Structure formats: structure tokens, C-alpha cells
Amino acid sequence: MPAAQGERRGPAVRFHIAADAAATAEMAADSVEGVIRSNPRASIGLATGATMEGVYRSLVRRCQEGSLSFAEATVYLLDEYIGLDADHPQAYRNVITRSFTELVDLRDDAVFAPDCRAPDLDTEARRYDRLVRAAGIDIQLLGIGRNGHIAFNEPGTPFDAKTNVVSLSKATRRDNARFFDSAEEVPLQAITQGTGTILQAKQILLVAQGSHKSRPIRDALEGPVTSEVPASALQLHGDASAVLDLEAASRLSTDQPQV
Ligand code: GLP
């Protein structure tokens, strides 16, 4: 039975612990490969962030070696900053292009993201929400913020949120400043798939590496289901799992065999 929000419960999210970050990336890439193999026309939900870089490297390698093809797949980004120039290297569309989509055999018209230069951003958010729901995401890759956020759904976001314009928390802007020349350059807002939109995905795969993720991972997987920890919403999903390195898993109380 799904847990009600606020109810304390054990981990409903299956997790696998790998020895290091590289091994988590391979496991996540294995999951994406499995989805593509069973349905070459799959819709893949892509996340950005340092965590995903190894996952994309592994998928690119598999594609370049000829063992995997994205030729019939489509991909959907989770979120995008508002206020960056179209060619800004940290615009998520550009990050994903550089690290993944231009390196594999995806069609150019098979990559979707919120358009943060649209004249009306609320209308654009609603358009993107409809697009993602209509696509039906077969597997959604997710990272987790240090404050437990998923995509840009900050603590306090309702679990039924649709794609919308959001303000980034100070903590998130501070964390993401490492990708910019200065902290002031980090955008104040973004369009993000809402938690409710993300939960529509048929399968969700959360990836986390490093000791700085151990607290949000414990809270998300073993803590109460609460909008104060956006990633705890995954406990409400029927097919959510996590791949964690030893450090990210270090605060979990449940013993699971290491892979
Ligand atoms: C950003 C993204 C999230 C991502 C998070 C963690 O805020 N919007 O989707 O999960 O960063 O990023 P990292 O993997 O760099 O820790």
C-alpha cells in the first residue's frame, strides 16, 4: 500500500550499493541500456549535475562501440535555468548536448527541454508538462541535491507539483556555483518538471555518490515521506530504485548486499 505523506515507513525504494562512483555510473547505464533493449523507441528522462557525467560517459562509450543505439529513442530534460544566454555553457540544454546527446546517435529532433527564452514562461512550463506526460517517460534518471531536492523541486514543494517556474534556494545556488565563474552568476530561477510530473515516469533511478549525499539519501530512502525532503516522494512510486556508492549509502540503516 502506498505510504501517506508524513507516515514513517521503511525503505520502499530498492537500492544497490556499488564500490565507487564509477561503478554506480555503470549500473545506472546498465539500467538505461536494459530499457532501450526492450524498447528501442523508449523515452528517457535525463538529469544534469556532476553525478550524471559518468553515466553519460558510459552510455556514450557503449554507443560508440556499437553495442547500444539511441537512434529511435527520445530524451527529455528535467529542468532548465532561466536567464542564461542560449549559448551559455551551463544552460542545461548545452550541458546535455556536450556530455551526451551530440555524442550518440539520437536524432536532433529527439531531444526536448523547457525553453526558458519563451515569451511566457508559465505557458511554456505547462506546454512542457503536457509534452512529458504525453511521452510517458520509460526511465527517469535523477540526482539528488544536498537539501534533498530532485530536479529543481526545493524543500516544501508539494508532491503533486506540475512543471513550473521556480525560485532556487540559497543552498542550491551555493551548491551549483561551482559550475559558474561567480556565485552571482547562478540564475535565480528555473523551469523544472514538478515532483508530480517526475512521479509519472514508469521507472525512476536515483544515483548518488559521495559523503555529502549520505544525509539526503538517508532522509529520502529511510525518513518520513515529507515534502520537506522532495526525494522522499520516491517512496510513493512503485518502481523507484537507487544506486549509491559506499559513501552516499553510509548513513543507511538497512543492510543490503554490496554489488
Ligand atoms: C542540480 C539539478 C539536479 C541535480 C542536482 C545534484 O540542482 N537540478 O537535477 O540532481 O543538481 O547535482 P550533482 O550531481 O552535481 O550533485
User: Closest Cα to atom 5, ligand 1: which residue?
Assistant: 145
What number is the average pLDDT over the span 246-255? Answer: 89
User: Closest Cα to atom 13, ligand 1: which residue?
Assistant: 49
| Substitution candidate for ligand 1 out of 79, 176, 192 with most atoms within 8 A of CB | 176
Which atom in ligand 1 lies closest to the alpha carbon of residue 78? 9
Rounded to two decimals, what is the model's pTM?
Answer: 0.94
Which atom in ligand 1 lies closest to the alpha carbon of residue 152? 8
What number is the average pLDDT over the span 108-120? Answer: 97
The alpha carbon of 1 and the centre of ligand 1 are apart by a number of angstroms equal to 30
pLDDT band at 1 (very low <50, low <70, confident <90, very high): very low
The alpha carbon of 73 and the centre of ligand 1 are apart by a number of angstroms equal to 24
Catalytic sites, residue numbers: 79, 147, 149, 154
**Any idea which of 4-13, 169-178, 185-194 has the lowest mean pLDDT?**
4-13
pLDDT band at 7 (very low <50, low <70, confident <90, very high): very low
pLDDT, residue 255, reads: 61
Q: What percent of the chain has pLDDT over 90?
A: 92
**Any idea which of 4-13, 173-182, 208-217, 219-228 has the lowest mean pLDDT?**
4-13
Cβ of 152 less than 6 Å from ligand 1: yes
List Cβ neighbours of 240 (8 Å cut-off, separation of 6 or more).
12, 13, 14, 203, 204, 205, 206, 234
pLDDT band at 256 (very low <50, low <70, confident <90, very high): low
What number is the average pLDDT over the span 105-129? Answer: 97
Residue 243: enclosing H or E segment and its boundaries? strand 240-245
The alpha carbon of 242 and the centre of ligand 1 are apart by a number of angstroms equal to 15
